[in-house]
Structure 1
Amino acid sequence: MSKTPQAAIYSPAIQIDALMPDIATPVVAADFPQTLLRFRNDRAAASVGLDGLSDDQWIAHFGRFTPLPDTLAQPLALRYHGHQFRHYNPDIGDGRGFLFAQLRDGAGRLLDLGTKGTGPTPYSRAGDGRLTLKGGVREILATEMLEALGVNTSRTFSIIETGEALERNDEPSPTRGAAMVRLSHSHMRIGTFQRAAFHDDAPLLARLTDYVLTQLYDEVPGDNPAAQLLGRVVERTADLAASYMVAGFVHGVLNSDNINVTGESFDYGPWRFTPLWDAGFTAAYFDHQGLYAFGRQAEAIHWDVAQLAVSLRPLTDAPPLIAQLERFPALYGDAMARRFCWRLGVVPGDGANAMIEAAVRGMVTTGTEIDRFFHDWRGGVVRDGADYGGAEWRAFADLLREFDAMPGARAHDHWADDAPCSMHIEEVEAIWRAIDADDDWRPLHAKVAAIRRMGDALGAGPGVV
């Protein structure tokens, strides 16, 4: 089954107006010396009716930020607060990006086109408002891989090189600049609600709650909209945490301003895929305490969602919020079983937790890479020639016999490949070196094609139950 989204006719929207002027500040995009189109995601563009743009039109909208028809007339830098590594920061917001447009996809969902690297805003905190080209390339690789692995993620829509030389402390400088556009199911963060609560603005909290329920969840608010919203966020974020684990992904910066209330993963900085099932693996060099390590991501996301509950207290009593928060662990366990079975290519059933524990024990004990494990055991039967001897794997194989293969689990020719499709740091750096040294974009495009082929082999993700 292809992951190609449903094609759409261009359908602009301006729903964010219901929250203005309290939610954002109008800004002007930077005027870049050059606009070199480096990546356009026509698959994503087709889902919102923009795949027919010429390259010149694409650059005009996503490099010069000429407004798209009948949506936002001016970019909006969104306002929010957030806990950053558990320390509250009221001095943040869109510091190098903005909301550029709203539009609907073929299924009628309201989506945002947001930017990164498009110039300073009132929330830049002395930053230059720019994005490195390497950061843009890394975002392409992260979002493509996560989408293929069934994670609910933003999509990298466009990368345009800007002709600027940027100074950075954490990579060789000067380095090339870029303007990125992402397609996302909103940019409403837990930190958006935290800011309203910080300012004791209960009316804004109520408007935000109504906006998210009606515009993003397509629900009619009930007797307790705040608890209703928190329940949806708990469901989506528990699934998000499980999807990270099954993908072997470490986001790196799970601050509350980086958690979208739709449960969609976005904003990729120091991300990495861990080769091994290593609970202590971290992505950010500055995460000295391992707060956002691979094995602590569910804990971190649950903690962030608890901050949303605190922010919603002006709208409701504590008990219904606590009741929703307490659902997270069980929902996370259910999502782990559903997503692990999906990637393995077997039908979920009783005994999934024991089977997963045996699989993890086998990977940890033998040092088997995550991607290799899922590739070799696709459909519930070990691939020919793969070496999984030893008591650890015999125990896993015995438990796996109780699970039926998904229809067509190994039908795609991807599963006949000797090696799995992975995205480890060595390959990320090699892809960037080809661009940086020789302006050779072929390895990037080849990798995107390989990732999408794997996505086709895996089929549509399991979603949230």
Structure 2
Amino acid sequence: MPANPQAYRPETALLDLGDTFWDPVDAADFPATTLRFRNDAAAAEVGLDTLSDAEWTRHFGRFAPLPGTLPQPLALRYHGHQFRQYNPDIGDGRGFTFAPLRDGAGRLMDLGTKGSGQTPYSRFGDGRLTLKGGVREILATEMLEALHVPTSRTLSLIETGEDLVRGDEPSPTRSAVLVRLSHGHIRIGTFQRLAYHQDEAGMRALVGYVLRQLYGEDGDDPVRLLDLVVERTATLAARYMAAGFVHGVLNSDNINVTGESFDYGPWRFAPTWDPAFTAAYFDHAGLYAFGRQPEAIHWDVMQLAASLRLVAESDPLIETLQTFAPRYQAGIREAMFWRLGIRRFDDRRDHAVVQAVERVPRATDTPIDRFFFDWFGGHVPADYPDAFDELRRLLDPYTPRKDRDHPYWHGEPCSMLIDEVEAIWAPIAADDDWSRLHAKVAAIREMGAALA
């Protein structure tokens, strides 16, 4: 039971949608529940940081209901395009939503799971999560949060004592259940399912729910909803690029209508500014390559617009879609200048700076994290090659938004490339040594403090 009831604000608004949006499910009965990671910083935002470890494990490993929230976990129903192929046979297959809450700002947050057992949408899957997959999600969410990307947070990781067989990693491997804290779990694919079934009443109900509960607006105008989603997803695409992040699977069922990134599988950070860099070994055509992510997210939002035609006229939806590109351009300027640690100057020169940042490091194979570390605050390193002279000249009139007095700037840039991910996992797999993971999380949070 949360010990801080003034900060703990349970919600049940999801139930107002009606039972055509979900299926009640039960969590798997795991052989063991060993707490491996708890994110008290995130938990504090919803009044859960004062739980004891035993209480934590009972709620997030055995899924005893949190007071005042949902009486039973709900597996949400949705469809989606997966690598541009429409699939009506999906939904929450190894996760569920089990505790909506309000944070200190009044936002509706969901506690959702990954690896919590089979549901009606598991198909041939076992509904489980590998421990390594959970560790990777911790690293992805911590790094993205520090780099100013709107993201779910990994709240909890509990090892569950099962041996799992997987075709893409050494097996048998250890199992876990993960809990994420997200600003809702409504996906573009949730709307696609309603359009597929021509459920006009359900579509209107969902539009109203998202506007009221996730955007804090009155009404049920689908064009207004699309406008908000276009703004948030264009911002997300821009911040992915400035972070050098490659999600790997930008299917329409993986796009949250709040514009919050979530569900991290084959993700990677690009070592250099290579538009063709891919994260997923199975993305043979490079559909979701680093440089194609804005296009991919825009395409997914187009599917939302197509779904909303069930309850709206086409012309205003098309007009709204056409704002994605200029909003992305505004977003990439904001994101690049945030990561460079400098204040905007004027639109024309700012645009030239962004173009140079995208072009020069790529042409010189300069590591992304090294570049942003060295140039933060408009600092112009003397030892960079002549190819950077144009950028030096462009940055001359800019002033820092933050100085470099934080201890982080006296060390080396914090990165998260695939070799380090494997190096963090290796001692866990071999010796149950979690020290590297905890040290890396601390280092990422130090970087976040220096950048914030």
Class of the TM-score when normalised by the shorter of the 2 chains = over 0.9
Superimposed CA distance per residue, residues 283-335 of structure 1 (whole angstroms, 9 cap, x where no aligned partner): 00000000000000000000000000000001111011011100000000000
Match of 1:425 in 2: 418
Q: CA deviation at 1:349?
A: 2.6
Amino acid paired to 2:409: W
Partner of 1:70: 68
Letter in 2 for 1:119: G
Q: Does 1:233 align with 2:229?
A: yes
Residue 135 (structure 2) aligns with = 137
The answer for the alignment partner of 2:406 in structure 1 is 412
Shift of 1:8: 6.9
| Whole-Å separation in 2 of the counterparts to 1:266 and 1:238 | 15
Runs (4+) of structure 1 moved beyond 2 Å? none
Hey, what's the Cα distance between the residues in 2 that align with 1:376 and 1:140? 26
Cα-Cα RMSD: 1.0
The alpha-carbon deviation at position 359 of structure 1 amounts to 2.0
What corresponds to 1:205 in structure 2?
203
Provide, for residues 394-449 of structure 1, a one-character-per-residue CA deviation record: whole Å limited to 9, x for no partner. Answer: 0011011132211x3323121121x2000000000000001000100000000000
Following superposition, the deviation at residue 25 of structure 1 comes to: 0.2
Q: Does 1:400 align with 2:398?
A: no
Question: Displacement of 1:362 after TM fit?
Answer: 1.6
Structure 1 residues 8 and 232: CA distance shift in structure 2, 3 A: farther
Aligned length: 446
- Of 442, 445, 449, the residue aligned with 1:449 is 442
Q: Distance in 2 between matches of 1:335 and 1:448?
A: 27
Give the Cα separation in 2 of the matches to 1:231 and 1:22.
Answer: 26
Q: 1:357 Cα deviation (Å)? A: 1.3
1:20-419 map, 5 Å: 20-221=18-219, 225-350=221-346, 351-383=349-381, 387-390=383-386, 392-406=387-401, 408-417=402-411, 419=412
Counterpart of 2:397 in structure 1: which amino acid? E
Residue pair 1:96, 1:116 contacting (<8 A) in 2 also: yes
Q: Structure 2: which amino acid aligns with 1:399?
A: L
CA distance in 2, matches of 1:438, 1:206: 53
| Rounded Cα–Cα distance in structure 2 between residues aligned with 1:101 and 1:46 | 15
How far 1:18 sits from its partner (Å)?
A: 1.0
Question: Displacement of 1:49 after TM fit?
Answer: 0.3
User: What is the distance in 2 between the residues matched to 1:138 and 1:427?
Assistant: 11
Measure, in 1, the Cα distance between the counterparts of 2:333 and 2:168: 38
Tell me the secondary structure at the aligned position of residue 315 of structure 1.
Answer: coil
Rounded to whole Å, the distance in 2 between the matches of 1:254 and 1:360 is 22
Q: Indicate if the aligned counterparts of 1:8 and 1:106 stay in contact, CA closer than 8 A.
A: no
Residue type at the aligned position of 2:249? V
Contiguous gaps of at least 5 residues in structure 1: 1-6, 460-465
User: 1:389 deviation in Å?
Assistant: 2.2
State the 1:356 CA deviation: 1.5
What do the CA deviations read for 1:224-247 (whole angstroms, capped 9, x no partner)?
A: x10000000000000000000000
What SS class does the counterpart of residue 351 from structure 2 fall into? helix
Distance of 1:82 and 1:271 partners within structure 2: 20
Aligned AA (1:98): F
How far the C-alpha of 1:72 sits from its partner, in A, is: 0.4
Q: What letter is aligned with 1:368?
A: T
Aligned-partner Cα distance in 1 for 2:70–2:127 = 21
Task: Report 1 or 2 for greater relative contact order, CA contacts < 8 Å, sequence distance ≥ 6.
Answer: 1
Residue identity in the other structure for 2:403: A
User: SS at 1:266's partner residue?
Assistant: coil
CA distance in 2, matches of 1:72, 1:249: 34
SS at match of 2:161: strand
- Partners of 2:379 and 2:12 lie apart in 1 by 50
Q: 1:8 to 1:388 in 2, by over 3 A?
A: farther
TM-score, structure 2 length as denominator?
0.97
Q: Which amino acid aligns with 2:405?
A: A
Distance 1:118 1:297 in 2: 29
1:11-50 alpha-carbon deviations (Å, 9 max, x no partner)? 1000101112011000000000000000000000000000
- 3-state SS, counterpart of residue 235 of structure 2: helix
The corresponding residue for 1:462 is none
Structure 2: gaps (5+ residues): none
SS, match of residue 19 in structure 2: coil
Give, as a single letter, the amino acid of the residue that structure 2 aligns with 1:135: G
* Contact kept? 1:91, 1:123, Cα under 8 Å: yes
Report the TM-score, using the length of structure 1 for normalisation: 0.95
Kept in 2: contact 1:28–1:75 (CA 8 A): yes
1:265, 1:30 → 2: CA distance? 26
Specify the SS of the correspondent of 1:377.
helix
Aligned letter for 2:416?
M
The offset of 1:382, in angstroms, is 2.2
What does residue 463 of structure 1 align with?
A: none
Q: What secondary structure is seen at the aligned counterpart in 1 of 2:447?
A: helix
Quick one: structure 1 residues 293 and 456, their matched pair in 2 at CA, closer, same or farther if it must change by over 3 Å? same
Supply the distance in 2 between the matched residues of 1:389 and 1:314 (Cα, whole angstroms). 56
Query: Identity of aligned pairs, percent?
Result: 65
SS of 1:120's partner is coil
Cα distance in structure 1, aligned partners of 2:141 and 2:51: 22
Aligned partners of 1:142 and 1:268 also within 8 Å: yes
8 Å Cα contact 1:8-1:105 kept in structure 2 = no
- Letter aligned with residue 418 of structure 2: I
Q: Deviations over 1:31-89 (max 9, x none)?
A: 00000000000000000000010000000000000000010000000000000000000
Secondary structure, counterpart of 1:111 in structure 2: strand
Q: Give the partner amino acid of 1:412.
A: H
Aligned to 1:434: 427
